[in-house]
Amino acid sequence: MATYKAPLRDMKFVYRELFDGDALTSLPGYADFSADVVDAVLEEAAKISQEVLFPLNRSGDEEGRHFENGVVRTPKGFKEAYDQFTAGGWTGLGADPEFGGQGAPKALNMLVEEMICSANMAFGMYPGLTHGAYNALKLYGTDEQKQTYLPKFTDGTWSGTMCLTEPQCGTDLGLVRTKAEPQADGSYNLTGTKIFISAGEHDLTQNIVHLVLARMPDAPPGIKGISLFICPKFLPKPDGSPGARNGASCGAIEQKMGIKASATCVINFDGAKGWLVGEKNKGMRAMFAMMNTARLGVGVQGLGLSEVSYQGGLLYARERLQGRSLKGTVSPEKPADSLIVHPDVRKNLLTMKALTEGMRALVMWVSTSQDKAEKSATEAERTEHDDLIQFLTPVVKAFGTDIGFDNANLGVQIFGGHGYIREHGMEQFVRDARITQIYEGTNGIQALDLVGRKMTAHYGRYMRAFFHPVQAFIEQNAADPAMEEIVTELAKGFGRLQQAVGQIAQKGMSNPNEAGAGASDLLKLLSYVSVGFMWARMAKLALGKQNDDPTGFYKGKIKTAKFYMHKLMPITGALLSSIMAGGETIMDMEDELFDAGLAA
């Protein structure tokens, strides 16, 4: 009974009312994206997501992708859907008009991405990776590279990948062994093997363009010796069409737990011709431009799966008749009451709703900040918005994917035994969501990034970009009787966050393991406070509009905000307790004691 209907009312609320997305039209290049245009884009995206992509989600999962003699074929219906997708201009929605794109605000594009991820995450992997490759080349490619590849990425006739991981290295990219031998014509011959390459081979596009991390012969060791190269499957002809086959091929595809319609490939480079992107030995800087985009995108994948899991659970809870209400029969004309009358089911649904809508608001805050960081008039404004993006990227990636997986599990729980059965479609969301907590940097790596980089960067400047607006909101609304209940709980969570940051900063200076031991708890604590801040802002807005609310939308916002503050924000207390306990019990365990119980 999996179902999906794009949550357009809530999307328009966070875009237009909460973050004044219509004001983005004042930024250079966004003048055409008036309210009516934004509505039209969202409504058309909803149609293709609901009517074209979602019907292929379960069948694509069951059929999977096919691999034979180095060729990957996507499941039945995917090629036709992709052609319809590109014909509608969706691959170029956020791309620069200079390269044939529509130049939409990133905030709008992010909402469209969420719909795609809810409807068919595996399908969305193919254009999603291309978007990241587009960003990296736009920032660091030569003019010739941009003119050759970006229009093709934009119209969707070519796709892109990011080739980082090798059998001996995942997170530690300093261990990359792929070689790049310089050639007399200015190109490089690439030799090596990359694994876990999403959309590395498929039948949707005319060409697949790999962005590859490799090491030149004279490169220094570690990440300081990594360069980035562009390596197409087919070498472009002078007229821009695909030419001769390059030495990049798919050696195998992975048999996976989820996203089975997405091809995850082993790509072999056998003297493949490639070209340097950006500066020699500066490949990580260019690749991080792609990875940061991808990390936000993966957080949105989690959000999309959270939404579709909530919708399936809600529909089932309304329709499934089981037992009677604890307070007495609600539907005497029926043999039993619906599941939604039971407190535990309601708690699960409210948890899903509160986390999903709160995360959508947080994503919108980051997305509108992306637009402003790129296009604001002054450097100070651009820096201010970029600081917030840097600080919250680990939150969006890690917490977005955590709630995606957790809420997919809650959706199965609401279905009971029927959720465990494939035919109802809910178990697929659990399997699909699990990878999001791993790829593009595991959530543990996101926590280390927060503690090791984001908190300390520029003497805490990134951190202040978040702390200052939260503190200001609490101070400005603490005396408002209508907001007291909500602000009090937000202030408690924020106080715990400040205390936890101080603890980790102090202990980590003398013992780095202390910072590492508390990093994941701190990231989760920050995440709950971040989403709580969004709920406080949404509640304040809804309180002013609830009297003119025939649909009950704003009333629902207020009640959900209170649920979040009273039932979910207290989790920050347990997280603080864990952080304050320190890392001694983690690091004090001798390695040999982990398997002491296995001895005969």
Instruction: Quick: pLDDT tens for 146-162.
Output: 999 999 999 999 999 99
Characterise 156 by phi-psi region: left (phi > 0), alpha (psi -120 to 50), beta (else): left
pLDDT digits (tens, 9 = 90+) for 55-102: 999 999 999 999 999 999 999 999 999 999 999 999 999 999 999 999
pLDDT band at 223 (very low <50, low <70, confident <90, very high): confident
Are 191 and 222 in the same domain? yes
Are 580 and 461 in the same domain? yes
Instruction: For residue 369, tell me if it sits in a domain.
Output: no
> Is residue 397 over pLDDT 90?
yes
Distances from the Cα of 600 to the Cα of 50, 596, 597, angstroms:
57, 9, 8
The pLDDT of residue 150:
98
Are 482 and 584 in the same domain? yes
Over residues 379-399, the mean pLDDT reads: 97
Neighbours of 504 (CB within 10 A): 25
The last residue of one of the domains, among 140, 170, 203, is: 140
Instruction: For residue 593, tell me if it sits in a domain.
Output: no
Instruction: For residue 420, tell me if it sits in a domain.
Output: no
Distances from the Cα of 435 to the Cα of 8, 371, 381, 424, angstroms:
27, 28, 36, 21
Q: How many domains does the chain have?
A: 3
The pLDDT of residue 284:
86
**SS3 of 270, please?**
strand
> Is residue 289 over pLDDT 80?
no
Domain that holds residue 93: 8-140
Are 94 and 173 in the same domain? no
Over residues 220-239, the mean pLDDT reads: 94
Question: Average model confidence (pLDDT) for the chain?
Answer: 96
The pLDDT of residue 240:
87
Are 449 and 577 in the same domain? yes
The last residue of one of the domains, among 239, 267, 283, is: 283
Give the span between the Cα atoms of 68 and 518, in whole angstroms: 46
pLDDT digits (tens, 9 = 90+) for 579-592: 999 999 999 999 99
Is there a contact between 204 and 82 (Cβ–Cβ < 8 Å)? yes
Amino acid (one-letter) located at 334 = K
The reply to whether the predicted model has a pTM over 0.85 is yes
Instruction: For residue 440, indicate whether it is catalytic.
Output: yes
Q: Please choose, from the candidates 234, 247, 187, 188, the residue with its C-alpha nearest in 3D space to the C-alpha of residue 214.
A: 188
Give the span between the Cα atoms of 600 and 591, in whole angstroms: 18
Are 189 and 247 in the same domain? yes
Instruction: For residue 531, tell me if it sits in a domain.
Output: yes
The pLDDT of residue 508:
85
Are 132 and 174 in the same domain? no
The last residue of one of the domains, among 283, 299, 326, is: 283
Of 166, 440, 489, 514, the catalytic one is 440
The pLDDT of residue 42:
98
Are 190 and 221 in the same domain? yes
pLDDT band at 12 (very low <50, low <70, confident <90, very high): very high
Q: What are phi and psi of 241, to 5 degrees?
A: -85, 160
Beta bridge partners of 265: 197, 253
Are 169 and 113 in the same domain? no
The CATH number that applies at residue 242 is: 2.40.110.20
The CATH number that applies at residue 117 is: 1.10.540.10
Are 170 and 128 in the same domain? no
Give the span between the Cα atoms of 196 and 533, in whole angstroms: 36
Give the span between the Cα atoms of 194 and 165, in whole angstroms: 6
Q: Please choose, from the candidates 114, 99, 112, 227, the residue with its C-alpha nearest in 3D space to the C-alpha of residue 158.
A: 99
The pLDDT of residue 600:
76
Over residues 521-547, the mean pLDDT reads: 97
Over residues 236-261, the mean pLDDT reads: 96
The pLDDT of residue 169:
86
pLDDT digits (tens, 9 = 90+) for 365-386: 999 999 999 999 999 999 999 9
Instruction: For residue 118, tell me if it sits in a domain.
Output: yes
Are 565 and 479 in the same domain? yes
Neighbours of 38 (CB within 10 A): 23
Are 136 and 163 in the same domain? no
> Is residue 291 over pLDDT 90?
no
Over residues 532-554, the mean pLDDT reads: 96
Instruction: For residue 205, tell me if it sits in a domain.
Output: yes
**Dihedral over Cα of 315, 320, 325, 326: its sign:** negative
